[in-house]
Amino acid sequence: MTKLRAAITGVQGYVPDYVLTNQELEGMVDTNDEWITTRTGIKERRILKGEGLGSSDLGAAAVQALLDKKGLSAEEIDCIIFATATPDMIFPATACIIADKVGAKNAFAYDLMAACSGFLFSVLTASKYIETGTYQKIIVVGADKMSSIVDYTDRQTCIIFGDGAGAVLLEPDTNGLGVQDAILKSNGEGRHYLKMTAGGSVKPASSETIANKEHFIHQEGQTVFKFAVKGMADVSAEIMERNQLKGEDIAWLVPHQANKRIIDATANRMGVGTEKVMLNIQRYGNTTNATIPLCLWEWEKQLNKGDNLILAAFGGGFTWGSIYLKWGYDSK
């Protein structure tokens, strides 16, 4: 028997039906399919349509389907951590709303906000509850309705983002599987380059903030790009080095899907071939906290128990990080 670790024992994704294509965006802003494809790798993204629907609806759909798939009752769940940049409202925590929607009456639930790195930060947090023997069944769910904060007149930003959700179940393992190591980082000096300026305590909502479009994402793309390429590649290379892993030891790189060029640079630095990189940015764009669990969900059937996975992300804050884990089960 080895150390108590937290293993992923189930995964589920959810994307809304509406497909926003590059062609449709061509009719909204001055852009074209060729520019978007070559500069980002994105072809289409999903959008949650419908009055009164928010990130909790995306997250709850993923969590409910995960419970159904695992044959679990919602009441068996000890904790739900919701990683998001687009909560239903500032408070209460959207995690509580998701817990209520799925009937997770015995779970304590809270939101964790670390922009696009929130899912990784949440997985590490959950793993510590499990490694200490405090809790046994934790769901980490990442979901964002990015379309609620995207300015569809800003061509540099609106082409990138989409809506989606993904959830994983974490449980104790004593056979060497699960989370092995993590490097998580943040640097608040980056706060100027990727943010939503208004709607918080510094600048509450007013007619002026709305007129200035300060409730939309403000992203200085080129600056974020430079930090993202370096940040994601650095931590991924570092985590491999300190665990004596070579490119050939990695079964899959599971990168945050913000820009295909950032992903390619990370894989290249790690010495991991493109055939081992999970990539679905072409279909979903950047779904912020949902990108990594959506990849795990779509690749689930190709994953084998014990596979070495490197999860890597970069986002607003700045926040970034990398998690090395051994996959917890065969699902074929």
Ligand X SMILES: CC(C)(COP(=O)(O)OP(=O)(O)OC[C@H]1O[C@@H](n2cnc3c(N)ncnc32)[C@H](O)[C@@H]1OP(=O)(O)O)[C@@H](O)C(=O)NCCC(=O)NCCS
116 annotated active-site:
yes
Q: Mask: binding to ligand X, 42-61, rule CB under 6 A, as x and -?
A: --------------------
Q: Which is nearer to ligand X, 59 or 118 (CB)?
A: 118
**Is position 195 an interface residue for ligand X (rule: CB under 6 A)?**
no
Q: How far is CA 328 from the centre of its chain?
A: 19
Between CA 112 and CA 115 the distance in angstroms is: 9
Q: Is 35 exposed, middle or buried (0-12, 13-18, 19+ CB in 10 A)?
A: middle
Residue 159 near ligand X by CB under 6 A: yes
Query: Taking the complex as a whole, how short is the minimal distance between the CB of residue 211 and ligand X, in angstroms?
Result: 24
Judged by CB, which is closer to ligand X: 17, or 34?
Answer: 34
Q: Which of 307, 297, 306, 230 is nearest to 276 (CA)?
A: 307
286 is a catalytic site residue: yes
- Nearest of 162, 263, 161, 156 to residue 219 by alpha carbon: 156
Q: Active site residue: 256, 259, 289, 295, which one?
A: 256
CA atoms within 13 A on the CB side of 64: 13
**Which of the following is catalytic: 22, 259, 286, 289?**
286
Known catalytic residue: 79? no
Q: Which residues pair with 181 in a beta bridge?
A: 324
| Shortest Å distance, C-beta 117 to ligand X | 9
> Of these residues, 79, 116, 158, 295, which one is catalytic?
116
- Shortest reach from residue 118's CB to ligand X, in Å: 11
Separation of CA 26 from chain center: 27
Of positions 40, 86, 236, 280, contacts ligand X by CB under 6 A: 40
Is there a contact between 46 and 163 (Cβ–Cβ < 8 Å)? yes
The DSSP element (H or E) to which 18 belongs, if any, is strand 18-21
Give the Cα separation of 244 and 121 in Å (integer).
23
* Closest CB to ligand X among residues 252, 314: 314
The pair of structure tokens assigned to 118 is 């929130």
Binding ligand X (rule: CB under 6 A), the pick from 9, 147, 236, 286 is: 286
Q: Which of 225, 284, 320, 324 binds ligand X (CB under 6 A)?
A: 225
- Complex with ligand X: residue 67 or 290, whichever CB lies closer: 290
Largest CA distance in the chain: 61
User: Which positions touch ligand X (CB under 6 A)?
Assistant: 31, 35-36, 39-40, 116, 155-156, 159, 221-222, 224-225, 228, 258-259, 262, 286, 314-315
Active-site residue set:
116, 256, 286
